[in-house]
């Protein structure tokens, strides 16, 4: 007789979790659902987990173990060092509980694929089946072009994604399993630094409410306001997608209430916000199809020959938010303080690092992962390669953001700048984007002058890229 368990990974939720739903169906209501969660601090170090990201997950686990127990999910949390130890731990777990099936939600980077292949083989040797689901994406990575290849450009991918959802329908969001409560699992300590994440709510129900409130009350303004960092117009739900506390299925379910023809005929704000979720899936699909992305390689192979500058002092100034370009420095200081940065500003600071300073995008990618509470390997890699013009569907290499013009356009009165750069709190709006002369006239030296001339830096980058 079949008996199914669940192996939780980047999906620490019970609702909208196809692995949990499938195991629940196999077991019926009369049997509990054995479940395993592995914490691997060595792997977290290798993957540059931000201490604030770990703190968010750890706080969420306090709620998750209680929710799991109340719904008959008999959770076991084990500490291992790295994914190399995961297959043996999963096999032991399955044998201990007498399982015939282990249900998982697929993960797409190379390390995770190799881990799963090894676990699947180890389970098969014990006549235990590992069954895959796709709970972290709405559309699994099976979309192909007319010629059978992968999509290398976002626009046709998004078109195909929308057509697939229109044809198949919005994924049905499985409800929570209903069965007798079990003992609440212990959460073992792990040796990994933590940084305060208390500004972010935790707990599955509370996070789902954030999503519902945003779609109901704010998403209609998203298209008009999303590029202005001084406004609170973005959802700030990205950490919950990354940790799997929220499912994109839940987002599509909320948005579908706006249109009977979903994903068509959405109001503009909701449609543009949906496009950002599709970008997230685009980058996850790329991880599945292009293993080199998991090895720190550029998607456009010829750009791996780019002669980046080795400038650790300039990189350190960028990290500290001391470049002399206020919008860049405000973004980096927001990252240091909150572990998060507005998306428009992420593009500006990334462009500045790779195109104004001519520093390898991988330096910035790693720094972001080490500090972002929503650090997503796929999305972070995709965003940096987009900015560096080395990735699929990347910004053309000759498009170099002018940080001053970006600042004037998207933070015209300097509200965002003043929030994160107190040295410029009294600087008039008309000069806050280029404050060097004003500071000098007032005998001020507490904020640095621009570390590079943007026009000359742009010419330097274009010359270097053209050599490729």
Asked if residue 267 lies in contact with residue 218, where contact means CB atoms within 8 angstroms, the answer is no
The reply, when asked if residue 228 is annotated as ligand binding, is: no
pLDDT score, position 260: 86
365 catalytically annotated = no
Q: Cα–Cα distance between 35 and 402 in angstroms, integer?
A: 51
Catalytic residue among 81, 85, 343, 408: 343
CA distances from 334 to 53, 320, 324, 404 (A): 15, 10, 16, 18
The reply, when asked if residue 276 is annotated as ligand binding, is: yes
- SS3 assignment, position 143: coil
| pTM for the full predicted model | 0.96
pLDDT score, position 398: 83
The reply, when asked if residue 93 is annotated as ligand binding, is: no
Distance of CA 357 to the CA centre of its chain: 25
The reply, when asked if residue 322 is annotated as ligand binding, is: no
Catalytic residue among 164, 308, 338, 423: 308
pLDDT score, position 446: 96
- SS3 assignment, position 220: helix
83 catalytically annotated = no
pLDDT score, position 395: 76
Asked if residue 3 lies in contact with residue 101, where contact means CB atoms within 8 angstroms, the answer is yes
Q: Cα–Cα distance between 270 and 199 in angstroms, integer?
A: 26
Report the candidate in 190, 188, 187, 243 with the shortest Cα–Cα distance to residue 40.
190
The CATH fold of domain 138-172+204-289: 1.25.40
pLDDT score, position 128: 98
Catalytic residue among 7, 54, 83, 279: 279
The reply, when asked if residue 247 is annotated as ligand binding, is: no
Q: Cα–Cα distance between 379 and 281 in angstroms, integer?
A: 9
pLDDT score, position 321: 98
Per-residue pLDDT of 57-81, as tens digits, reads 999 999 999 999 999 999 999 999 9
pLDDT score, position 274: 97
Which DSSP symbol is given to 302?
G
Catalytic residue among 49, 384, 386, 420: 384
276 catalytically annotated = yes
Output the CATH code of domain 4-136. 3.40.50.620
The reply, when asked if residue 235 is annotated as ligand binding, is: yes
Distance of CA 360 to the CA centre of its chain: 21
**Is domain 301-466 given the CATH code 1.10.579.10 in the classification?**
yes
422: CB partners within 8 A, 6+ apart: none
pLDDT score, position 113: 95
Q: Which stretch of DSSP H or E encloses residue 8?
A: strand 4-8
Backbone angles phi, psi at 399, to 5 degrees: -90, 110
Q: Cα–Cα distance between 327 and 404 in angstroms, integer?
A: 8
- For helices 343-351 and 361-371, angle between their N-to-C axes, nearest 10 degrees: 150
The reply, when asked if residue 340 is annotated as ligand binding, is: no
CB environment 120-152: b (16+ within 10 A), e (fewer) = bebbeeeebebeebbbbbbbbbebeeeeeeebb
The reply, when asked if residue 278 is annotated as ligand binding, is: yes
Low-confidence ranges of the chain (pLDDT < 50): none
CA distances from 93 to 78, 113, 123, 411, 468 (A): 10, 20, 10, 53, 51
pLDDT score, position 188: 98
384 catalytically annotated = yes
Q: Cα–Cα distance between 38 and 45 in angstroms, integer?
A: 15
279 catalytically annotated = yes
Residue 463 burial by Cβ neighbours in a 10 Å radius (0-12, 13-18, 19+): exposed
Which alpha helices (DSSP H) does 358-429 contain, by range?
A: 361-371, 377-388, 403-410, 415-420
Q: Cα–Cα distance between 129 and 14 in angstroms, integer?
A: 21
- For helices 326-338 and 361-371, angle between their N-to-C axes, nearest 10 degrees: 40
Per-residue pLDDT of 353-410, as tens digits, reads 999 999 999 999 999 999 999 999 999 999 999 999 999 887 787 889 999 999 999 9
Catalytic residue among 7, 361, 363, 420: 361
Per-residue pLDDT of 211-238, as tens digits, reads 999 999 999 999 999 999 999 999 999 9
Domain coordinates of the chain in residue numbers?
4-136, 138-172+204-289, 301-466
The reply, when asked if residue 236 is annotated as ligand binding, is: yes
């Amino acid at each position: 007789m079949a008996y199914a368990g669940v192996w939780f990974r980047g999906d620490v939720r019970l609702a909208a979790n196809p692995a949990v739903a499938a195991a629940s169906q196999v077991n019926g209501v009369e049997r509990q659902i054995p479940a395993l969660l592995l914490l691997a601090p060595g792997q977290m170090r290798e993957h540059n987990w931000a201490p604030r990201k770990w703190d968010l997950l750890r706080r969420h686990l306090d709620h998750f173990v209680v929710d799991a127990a109340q719904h008959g999910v008999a959770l076991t949390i084990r500490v291992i060092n790295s994914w190399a130890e995961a297959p043996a731990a999963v096999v032991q777990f399955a044998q201990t509980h007498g399982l015939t099936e282990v249900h998982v939600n697929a993960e797409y980077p190379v390390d995770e694929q190799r881990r799963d292949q090894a676990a699947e083989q180890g389970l098969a040797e014990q006549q235990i089946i590992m069954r895959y689901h796709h709970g972290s994406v709405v559309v699994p990575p099976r979309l192909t072009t007319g010629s059978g290849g992968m999509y290398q450009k976002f626009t046709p991918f998004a078109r195909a994604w929308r057509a697939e959802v229109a044809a198949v329908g919005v994924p049905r969001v499985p409800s929570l399993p209903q069965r007798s409560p079990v003992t609440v699992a212990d959460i073992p300590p792990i040796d990994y630094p933590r940084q305060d994440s208390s500004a972010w709510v935790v707990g599955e129900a509370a996070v789902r409410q954030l999503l519902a409130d945003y779609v109901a009350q704010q998403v209609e303004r998203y298209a008009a306001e999303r590029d202005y960092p001084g406004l609170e117009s973005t959802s700030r739900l990205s950490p919950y997608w990354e940790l799997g506390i929220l499912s994109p299925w839940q987002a599509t379910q909320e948005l579908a209430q706006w249109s009977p023809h979903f994903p068509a005929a959405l109001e503009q704000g909701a449609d543009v916000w949906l496009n950002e979720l599709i970008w997230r899936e685009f980058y996850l699909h790329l991880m599945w199809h292009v293993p080199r992305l998991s090895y720190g390689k550029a998607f456009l192979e010829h750009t791996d020959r780019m002669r980046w500058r080795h400038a650790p002092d300039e990189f350190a100034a960028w990290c500290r938010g001391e470049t002399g370009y206020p919008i860049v420095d405000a973004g980096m200081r927001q990252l240091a303080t909150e572990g998060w940065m507005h998306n428009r500003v992420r593009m500006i600071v990334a462009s500045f690092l790779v195109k104004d300073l001519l520093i390898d995008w991988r330096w910035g990618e790693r720094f972001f992962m080490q500090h972002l509470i929503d650090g997503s390997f796929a999305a972070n890699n995709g965003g940096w390669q987009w900015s560096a013009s080395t990735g699929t569907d990347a910004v053309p290499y000759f498009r170099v953001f002018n940080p001053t013009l970006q600042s004037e356009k998207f933070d015209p009165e300097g509200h965002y700048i003043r929030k994160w750069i107190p040295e410029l709190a009294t600087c008039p709006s008309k000069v806050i984007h280029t404050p060097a002369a004003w500071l000098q006239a007032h005998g001020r030296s507490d904020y640095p002058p621009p570390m590079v001339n943007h026009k000359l830096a742009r010419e330097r980058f274009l010359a270097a890229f053209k050599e490729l």
